Amino acid sequence: MYAIQTSFRESMDGDEKEADLDTDEGALDEGKTPRQTNSYYCLYLYSCNRSRPEADNESGSNTRTTSTSEVGTQDGFSLSLSDTNLPAAAEPELQSVIAKRLGKGTIFGGIGHVVSVELSVPEQTVGCYYCLLQDLYPKEPETKEVIPDYVICFLGGTEKGLELFRLELDKYTQGLQSYLNPEMNNLESCVRPYLTKWFEECVLHVQRVAELFQTKISILLHAALSYTPVEVQGNDDRIKKDIDRFLNAASLQGLLHESTMASLSKAVSEEQPNTVLIDCTTPQPQFQNAGNNRFCEEWVQSFVHGAESSNPFLLRQILENFKLKAIQDMNNLKRFLRQAEMNHYALFKCYMFLRNCGNADVLLQNVKVENAEMPEAKNVVNVLEDFMYEQGIKTPSV
């Protein structure tokens, strides 16, 4: 995933070099042989007392405690298990890993991280997402009561695979806050069920969407790239949530500059595009006002094969590659546009590029918004847009 993220950065900065679109080798290896992925969770109570590093030891508590000497830091803290589904032999090993990172100061509140850990589990080495949740409860200025923070760990798949879903995991971890309280009196009724479902909610949604839509997934990809609103009809909340998560994952939000995203959102709302309606009351989803293009259709077989592998990490890697290719094409078009402002041949190259890439409607939509305040570039975009309409290559849309 690190290589993919680096390529995104290069593309956004205008690097002309084509990035490697090969799927991550680790994800491909997992995809060759479908298998059930085991998932684990662990919730720790974390208390830090700088003034009394031995306080927890003096209290006679039976919870597992980490002293300053074990982690090589001057801060005293305790890390105690609240709940887990890890095997008994594996949990102390994980606690040791987390304690060392806490002691080194490499865990910051509210920021999730993904690492590989070796534990006494069937997989031996698994990916581990961990996040420190701090200051969840108001504290009185003069109180001596120690109100704990929490460290949440989600484990499954590989480090590279889990990193692909880090944004979903961050959001899911933040959602846990509403269930936590100092007494932990709702552990069995609320907290544990929430923790147990993390893999199903954060990782498997891409696979479920790919399996449900099959060759029609290109419609969702196009809606995500073009910022077209989507409305799901039916009473199945899970399907609605899955589609919403898929659209968020497939969009270029976070990869484009904030000013461009704001302009695009404003342009879309002003033009009031036709909402894509998806009827999920039948076994096969039915569409109204569906948009599509050749670029999105060309990725369909990759998603179909990915769905057949039953590997959500491979599917997410394919989705990231899809977005990376869209970013690369967008940067190529921007380069041609700059040249076309002074060169008629470059204008022809713009036209040929748009005709061949299969994503002309989406690319023109983006560059049109970005160059709205630049007269020369705007004129070039208008000429291209009119010519594409005349050739029947670009259909009017958002």
Q: Are residues 136 and 262 in the same domain?
A: no
Please name which of 46, 104, 30 lies closest in space to residue 72, comparing C-alpha atoms.
104
Residue that is last in its domain, among 174, 198, 222: 198
Q: Are residues 68 and 113 in the same domain?
A: yes
Q: Is 11 among the domain residues? A: yes
Q: Are residues 96 and 216 in the same domain?
A: no
- pLDDT tens, 295-318? 999 999 999 999 999 999 999 999
To 10 degrees, the CA torsion angle through 295, 300, 305, 310?
110
Q: Are residues 249 and 131 in the same domain?
A: no
- pLDDT for residue 164 is more than 80: yes
Query: CA-CA distance, 94 to 92, in Å (whole number)?
Result: 5
- The whole-number pLDDT of residue 49 equals 61
83 within 8 A of 192, measured Cβ to Cβ: yes
- pLDDT tens, 178-228? 898 888 889 999 999 999 999 999 999 999 999 999 999 999 999 999 989
Q: Is 244 among the domain residues? A: yes
Helix/strand/coil for 316: helix
Range of the domain at 83: 39-156+166-198
Q: Are residues 129 and 72 in the same domain?
A: yes
Q: Which alpha helices (DSSP H) does 85-189 contain, by range? A: 90-104, 159-163, 166-176
- pLDDT tens, 74-125? 457 788 999 999 999 999 999 999 999 888 877 778 889 999 999 999 989 9
Q: Are residues 147 and 98 in the same domain?
A: yes
Helix/strand/coil for 308: helix
Q: Are residues 94 and 28 in the same domain?
A: no
Q: Is 220 among the domain residues? A: yes
Q: Are residues 223 and 367 in the same domain?
A: yes
- The structural domain count of the chain equals 2
Burial category of 18 from C-beta neighbours within 10 Å (exposed 0-12, middle 13-18, buried 19 and up)? exposed
Q: Are residues 103 and 251 in the same domain?
A: no
Q: Tell me the residue type at 90.
A: A
Q: Are residues 172 and 287 in the same domain?
A: no
Strands annotated E in the chain? 39-48, 77-84, 113-118, 125-133, 149-156, 230-233, 276-279, 286-288
Q: Is 98 among the domain residues? A: yes
Q: Is 161 among the domain residues? A: no
Q: Are residues 17 and 89 in the same domain?
A: no
- pLDDT for residue 9 is more than 60: no
Helix/strand/coil for 88: coil
Among all chains, which residue has been given the structure tokens 């302009």? Answer: 263
Q: Is 87 among the domain residues? A: yes
Q: Is 398 among the domain residues? A: no
Lowest mean pLDDT among 35-39, 60-64, 277-281: 60-64
Q: Is 396 among the domain residues? A: no
| pTM, 2 dp | 0.81
Q: Are residues 128 and 70 in the same domain?
A: yes
